[in-house]
Structure 1
Amino acid sequence: MSIATPPLQSHVLSRIGVPNSLPILRRAEACFERTGEYDSDARRPQQARRITSACMGVWRLRDLTDDAVLLVSELVTNAFQHGAGTTVRVRLYLTERYVCIEVRSGYVDGVEVKGAADVDESGRGLHLVSRVADDWSVTSDNAGLWCTLPLVRVGDPR
């Protein structure tokens, strides 16, 4: 696992497919190597949640922490279960209006929100993402998924 903060690039969000992208104020990135060992890879979503929580604290966005952590957890879990690459890369971008979460895991094919029965153990991840995130989609190069969380929700008293 590595954590890096690459230089800021305002065109990055439009390149991955986020509509109406704004200049990036802050950016954080974590990269997890896929080991192929169930126990090792199963710990990656928890690590990604801790990194996301810390990042949201540094950015003073504690009110968005729970939603951001849930989204990262679902996308990272999905990436390890269905992704094709040797690494899973998590990127968080902060703009003036939203936090963008991008998770890349190699080629993504046939992404869809599925319904899950009450007794099913899986199948709810993208449904949760579509409910919690303001917007979400596959990256423009089909290598991952992204979603956004608005900094101010409609109806917020701020």
Structure 2
Amino acid sequence: MSDGAGTLASTPGFAEWSFPAEAGAVRTARTLVRDTLHDWGLDAVTDVTVLLVSELVTNALRYASGPIGVRMYSHAGPSLFVEVSDPLPDPPRERAAGEDDEGGRGLQLVALASRRWGTRQGTAGKTVWFELPLPG
């Protein structure tokens, strides 16, 4: 893609990308996730996956200044796993957004729409992950 996304790996059931912390990263991530899930025959989970990746990449852009990583994998199992990483070590905080707040709902969406989710510290930042059940 022309806006700086780097494909780190892409095989059936596994894909990984790195994006510069720039405004186009969210759009590029959505497109790559949508196209990859279509290629894998996982259209049934595309909309929710794209929504949640969009929220997490937006959060990474808002708070981190380094590269953003997105990884997806599903190896003929009952779940799709998605991870979004950034170099900021601080874990995200789920907060209760008020009626008129324009932000603060990203992690609530992840928690409500996924089977489970969490965060983990890495050597160079953190990863927020979620799991979605696959149909069938």
Query: Is the pair's TM-score, using the shorter chain for normalization, greater than 0.5?
Result: yes
Structure 2 segments unaligned to the other structure (5+ residues) = none
Instruction: Specify the alignment match of 2:133 in structure 1.
Output: 150
The unaligned stretches of length 5 or more in structure 1 are 8-24, 35-40, 153-157
The within-5 A match list for 1:1-150 is 1-5=5-9, 26-34=13-21, 41-83=22-64, 86-95=66-75, 96-141=77-122, 143-150=126-133
Q: 1:59/1:6 Cα in 2 relative to 1: closer, same or farther (>3 Å)?
A: closer
Whose radius of gyration is greater, 1 or 2?
1
Number of residue pairs aligned between Structure 1 and Structure 2: 129
* TM-score, reference length from structure 2: 0.86
Taking the aligned partners of 2:49 and 2:56, their CA distance within structure 1 comes to: 11
Q: Which has the higher strand share?
A: 2
- Give 4+ residue runs of structure 1 displaced > 3 Å after superposition: none
Contact 1:83/1:108, CA 8 A, preserved across alignment: no
Q: Structure 1-normalised TM-score?
A: 0.75
Aligned residue for 2:95, secondary structure, equals coil
Give the distance between the partners of 1:26 and 1:59, measured in 2 at CA: 7
Cα RMSD, aligned residues only: 1.8
Distance 1:48 1:6 in 2: 14
Q: Note the alpha carbon deviations across 1:82-130, whole angstroms, 9 max, x for none.
A: 235x200111111311111101101332422111112111111000010
